[in-house]
Amino acid sequence: MQYSLNVENIRADFPIFQNNPDLIFLDNASTTQKPQKVLDTLTDYYENYNSNIHRGIYTIAEKATAAYEDTRDKTTSFIGAEDRRSIVFTRGTTESINLVAYSWGQNLKPGDEVLITEMEHHSNIIPWQLICEKTGASLKYIPICEDGTLDLSNSDTYFTEKTRIVCVIHQSNVFGTVNPITDIVKQAHDVGALVLVDGAQSVPHHRVNVSQLGCDFFAFSGHKMMGPTGVGVLYAKPELLEEMNPFLGGGEMIREVSMEKSTWNDIPWKFEAGTPNIAQVIGLGAAIDYLNKIGIQSISDYEKELHNYGKEKLQNIPGLSIYGDAKKKGAVISFNIENIHPHDVAHILDTSGIAIRAGHHCAQPIMRKLGVTATNRASFYIYNTFAEIDNLIEGLTKTVDLFS
């Protein structure tokens, strides 16, 4: 098998594989492992310049502030944003979407429509259910086809003059489908609607340029791109952030406070209340550096080879069905084996050190559409190998034999 990355050198950057030499980690759509560079960055902050940011005038506080804001600049460049004021640090994709739902969603009223898809992660369903219930707006869904793609054949039915915002996942965490965001953005903007994109599954694996996509909001998480847990990003067009009310109140997001009223800080700090997740943000900057060093296109190309190899091998397992067959996909394969519960499959594989996901993947509407309660899911990243896929196939073959 020919590929461009030196995967063994990459694996050597990840302490978890040195400490767990038998681990085969194939649950990267859930979270990713962390390279030594990210871990060292976190340790360096806590050991050498741990302090609060923005308000301290002493040396280590200024160093921490500079490192935190440097990550904002790195993030701006990494996703092709035009203005660093567009980058708001949150705890993750879920918080980013909730921020938009609660802050921008206050504009909704009865008669308005929020348009999402049947493909969404729960994080891009529940906030909109809650805000629609609160405001009286209606929630509509774009259906999915049997091949795991969006059914946009009757798009005029969904994109109407009542549509105020369209919220769509960029890459499905179940099917791996990469949705046609630029087309969706155009249809939404044509009817005067905004677009929020859940990019949690796309940013770590593909080159994303929010300016080219044209979306109004874009959310993603650090832990899915080899960064720390507890940090995420909301990209939003500055003019929207200016108009939106703060999501949380407290320190940092204020300009002036009196007993009668308060005024707000400039964007993006208007949306970063309290002591922020400083170490995690700085660690995210290190993860972006690591991704840039390897190259997103190299990552995408290698993962495509892993996906194609895995899919070909999986199709040889008796009774195995793969869900989703979009032409444009990420390195995610969801499958079931006839008459074997996904939890049993995952448990048996775990006895051989193979970690896959089994469950509804925070996407129960998809499971209902497929007529199943759960699926198995193998998801690949740059430190996975073709040999690990062979081990997966061997483990699945043994599982089938156990139940035959």
> CATH number for the domain including 373?
3.90.1150.10
Q: For residue 17, is it within any domain? A: yes
Domain boundary among 262, 293, 324: 293
Is 340 in contact with 400 (CB distance < 8 Å)? yes
Which of 238, 234, 216, 127 lies closest to 166 in space, CA to CA? Answer: 216
Q: For residue 2, is it within any domain? A: no
> Which residues are paired to 169 by β-bridges?
198
Kindly report the pTM of this predicted structure.
0.96
* Kind plus residue range of the DSSP H or E element containing 156: helix 155-158
Total tally of structural domains belonging to the chain:
2
Q: 3-class DSSP state for residue 336?
A: strand
Residues of the chain with pLDDT under 70: 1-4
Buried b (16+ CB within 10 A) or exposed e, 31-64: ebbbbeebbebbebbeeebebebbeeeeeebebb
**Which whole-number Å values give the CA distances from 395 to 41, 305, 389, in the listed order?**
37, 21, 10
- 250 and 289 both lie in a single domain: yes
- 317 and 267 both lie in a single domain: no
Query: Within its chain, how far is the Cα of 56 from the centroid?
Result: 33
The pLDDT of residue 258: 79
Query: Within its chain, how far is the Cα of 135 from the centroid?
Result: 27
- 284 and 301 both lie in a single domain: no
Q: For residue 333, is it within any domain? A: yes
- 48 and 80 both lie in a single domain: yes
CATH number (domain holding residue 201): 3.40.640.10
- 336 and 325 both lie in a single domain: yes
* Kind plus residue range of the DSSP H or E element containing 140: strand 138-142
HSE-CB of 389 using CA atoms within 13 angstroms:
26
- 255 and 287 both lie in a single domain: yes
- 356 and 259 both lie in a single domain: no
Compute the distance between CA of residue 327 and CA of residue 312 in angstroms, rounded to an integer: 15
Q: For residue 269, is it within any domain? A: yes
Write the pLDDT tens digit of every residue in 244-299: 988 888 877 777 777 888 877 787 989 998 899 999 999 999 999 999 999 999 99
- 100 and 23 both lie in a single domain: no
Residues ≥6 apart with Cβ < 8 Å to 180: 150, 152
Compute the distance between CA of residue 84 and CA of residue 111 in angstroms, rounded to an integer: 35
- 167 and 261 both lie in a single domain: yes
Q: For residue 311, is it within any domain? A: yes
The pLDDT of residue 90: 97
Domain boundary among 293, 321, 338: 293
Token pair listed for 285: 């900057």
Q: Which of 132, 145, 167, 362 is catalytic?
A: 362
- 70 and 12 both lie in a single domain: no
Say which amino acid occupies 11.
R
Pairing of strands 163-169, 138-142: unpaired
**What is the four-CA torsion angle of 51, 57, 59, 61, rounded to 10 degrees?**
20
Domain boundary among 260, 293, 326: 293
φ, ψ for residue 161, nearest 5 deg? -70, -15
Q: For residue 19, is it within any domain? A: yes
The pLDDT of residue 267: 79
Instruction: List the domain range (segments joined by +) for residue 386.
Output: 7-30+295-403
- 148 and 158 both lie in a single domain: yes
- 289 and 302 both lie in a single domain: no
The pLDDT of residue 1: 42
The pLDDT of residue 4: 63
Q: For residue 338, is it within any domain? A: yes
Pairing of strands 194-198, 217-221: parallel
Q: For residue 1, is it within any domain? A: no
Active site residue 145: no
Sheet holding 194-198, edge to edge: 87-90, 232-236, 217-221, 194-198, 163-169, 113-117, 138-142
